[in-house]
Structure formats: C-alpha cells, structure tokens
Amino acid sequence: MLSKLTQEEMEEMLRNNMIGRLGCNDGERTYVVPISYVYENGALLCHSHDGMKIQMMRRNPFVCFEIDEVRDFNNWRSVIAWGVYQELTEERDIEYARQFFSDYMLQMKTQETAAPPHQQESRFHELKPEYVPALYYRIHLQKITGRYERTF
C-alpha cells in the first residue's frame, strides 16, 4: 500500500535519522550531497567546511532536503522538505550549535561501555585529527511531505 506519512511520522523520521541529502542550486548547477544533521524545532542544525555547498547556499538560500528508510522495494518511507539556509554568525548561536550537535552525535555514537575515541588508551590511529574550523547553519523547514509503501 502506497500512502502519505502523517505530520507526526515525518517529524519522527527527522528526529530519528542523522544523515540526509541536501539539494542546492546556485542558478547554474544543482548539487546534491549527503550531510549529517540534527532536527530541532522545525529546523535542521548542520555543520560543514566552507566548500561548494556553503558557497552555493550563500548565493541561493532555498534548498531541498531528503531522508529515507528502506527495508526493500515494497517497504520504505521517505521525507522531502524544502527550506531556507541560515548561516550562524553570532558566537552564542555557534557555541549552542556546536554543543548541541556534539552532545547529540556523541550520544548516537557511543554506549555506556564504549568510551569516546579521545578517552581510549589505545587508538587505531595514534595521531589525533587536526581541528578544522566548522561553519554551523540551520535549514528552516517551510514545507514537508512524506510517503511510504508497506506490504502486509
């Protein structure tokens, strides 16, 4: 059966996933790229290096975002959202985003019995990664649609 997701189901999917595909267009080309995100209060909170997608969204802040969960061809669900890019520039907003994103991702990546990499005595790779400044941004979602197919 093919049908529409409810608002609650779409928001649940946005909350329970952390990887999606962002589509942006600068007037000359379209770019679709996977991103990590957290969903908070009708917006996606994201971070990135200053690269092609950031440059494109600065030129045209209107974007599209997609997530899906697929078990097989007949059992899947998908959410597509349209929104507006907002780069965070105030230090308090950046610090909030950095902490919120880090706390959320650490919670998703570790369990009580698994220490974060920086607390492990022996690491797979002895060198600690160099810090590269990140840009934090929000995608304020304006419209969300969702579909699913399920066999019984």
Find the length of the chain: 152
Whether 26 has a pLDDT exceeding 80, the answer reads yes
pLDDT at 107 over 80: no
The model's pTM: 0.82
Q: What is the pLDDT of residues 33-92, one digit of tens each?
A: 999 999 999 999 999 999 999 999 999 999 999 999 999 999 999 999 999 999 999 999
Q: What does the pLDDT read at residue 133?
A: 76
> Tokens in use for 148?
């699913």
Please write down the long-range contacts of 11-17, taking CB distance under 8 Å and 24 or more positions apart.
11/39, 13/67, 13/69, 13/77, 13/79, 13/146, 14/39, 14/44, 14/67, 14/79, 14/81, 14/144, 15/39, 17/67, 17/69
Q: What is the mean pLDDT of the chain?
A: 88
